[in-house]
Amino acid sequence: MPKKEIMKKNLVITWKRSAIGRSEDQKATIAALGLRRLHQSVVQPNNPVIQGMVKKVEHLVEVTEE
């Protein structure tokens, strides 16, 4: 049986591009991630919920593993 990949515990999410002109659901996702201003970083747990949110706004944020 193959080994399961061990997920890192946290993701550092940095807001890099403006949400001006983006859809309301993308703006709401940015807010739900805890981002309030451009170039702000937040630490979120690495789980499927957060990964889905990041996938939705991946063109606006930068993600690194902690």
Question: Number of structural domains, the chain?
Answer: 1
Residue 48 burial by Cβ neighbours in a 10 Å radius (0-12, 13-18, 19+): exposed
44 touches 10 (CB < 8 A): yes
| Whole-structure pTM value | 0.85
Residue 7's pLDDT is what? Answer: 62
Q: Would you say residue 4 lies in a domain?
A: no
- Give the CATH number for residue 58: 3.30.1390.20
Domain that holds residue 49: 10-65
Residue 4's pLDDT is what? Answer: 59
> Residue 41 pLDDT more than 90?
yes
Burial letters 2-40, b for 16+ CB under 10 A, else e:
eeeeeeeeebebebeeebeeeeeeeeebbeebebeeeee
Q: Beta strand 61-65 with 10-15: parallel, antiparallel or unpaired? A: antiparallel
